[in-house]
Amino acid sequence: MYFSSLPSKTTAVTILFLGVITLTRAHDASYFIPSSNPNPKFGSWSTVRGPITDHFEQWLNENGYTSDDFAQRFFFEFGSYGGRRNESHQVTRTPIIFYHGNEDGALAVPGNYTSGSSSQIEYFLGAGYSSAELYVTTWGTRDSNLSMTNDHSCSMMQLLRRFTLAVMEYTQSRWVNLISHSMGVTIARKIVKGGRIEDDRGGSCDLGEPLTYRVGAFIGITGANYGMCACQGLSEVDETCSATNGFWPGDSCGSNEFKCFSSHLQLPCKQENYSRLLWEMNHDGISEGQRVYSLWTVDDDLILNRAIAWGRPTSFIPGSEAFVFQNLTHMQTKENTTAQQHELLRPFEVYERLTPIPVEMKMGSSSNLLLGFLILLLIVTLILSARSCYGKVMRFNYEQIL
């Protein structure tokens, strides 16, 4: 079907070349060529088209990001989005960075769970945003047959951390707002928190210092912050279910064995033995932004079980404000709540140009606690020293009087 749409004058060499590209770079590259078929099997082609603008791409090339391939042109017009059109095109609102889920992509293509960020971008464009303030790039292959091979690997996390830093630097915005969906939630959380990642492939990496001081609003939609029950018993089988950096929920809780889905657990059951990466993020005390929100649906058709894992809502980000929906699927919770997402971003919507950030803000919340403790200790020491000196002076004067 792909080659039948080519002009009749296309040479055999060109056809052979395209065939080689298809075979070597994807399982079905023609899947990403827009079709005239008005009734695709699932979903539809995005009406918003990328990739990133020439202006943004030129800036990336001039600032050390060439090898990252954020344009993702392999996916044609659907692999990325964002950027100024030219020098006169200014950023007027706080930029939004989107993070898609497992084997989804930047923009919608026909398929199951492949709607990308199209509905969100369409909404924000209608609300007065421009491409200079909306950013997304594709990670992964967009092949659903490979979905169970994806985890929070060092290579992928470092790539998306660099994309986040690039948007921050390019836009020179005081704040960025982050909207994440599905696996993109835990990806974005770790990107902001920074720090080390232990890779189940035997490696490790350090993403750097927390970025909390640059994130206004953080929205996590239908994530799996405590793991997915579908992964119980599969930590050694599927990489996505890895107990190191995947979505393993734990195989037992108290006296309960392989009952992650159960609503009748034997107490006590407070699950702490789950994916190391998820556990660390849930306990490190580093916030994902100035304001953090969790959105999920009790009718999630992917996470299942009313989005519950071992008796607690897995889509809840610790410390966040929660919004729970019903009668929405896993994807619809992203696609049909764009107005609500916009409302949550409003406190940080007005663009402010970046100015030097106080050092204490860059240190992250955990370091701020340490700094506060040291200041308090210094104050107490000064008070005790003052009292000691005062006592010596009083004794000296008393002896003089005698």
Distance of CA 147 to the CA centre of its chain: 17
pLDDT tens column, 105-133: 999 888 888 889 999 999 999 999 999 99
How far is Cα 211 from Cα 164, in angstroms, rounded to an integer? 10
Q: pLDDT band for position 322 (50/70/90)?
A: very high
Q: pLDDT at residue 401 above 70? A: no
- State the pLDDT at residue 263: 82
Q: pLDDT at residue 136 above 90? A: yes
How far is Cα 371 from Cα 375, in angstroms, rounded to an integer? 6
pLDDT tens column, 20-50: 333 333 333 333 333 333 333 356 788 898 8
How far is Cα 113 from Cα 249, in angstroms, rounded to an integer? 22
- State the pLDDT at residue 239: 87
Torsion angle, alpha carbons of 82, 85, 90, 91, to 10: 0
What is this structure's pTM? 0.79
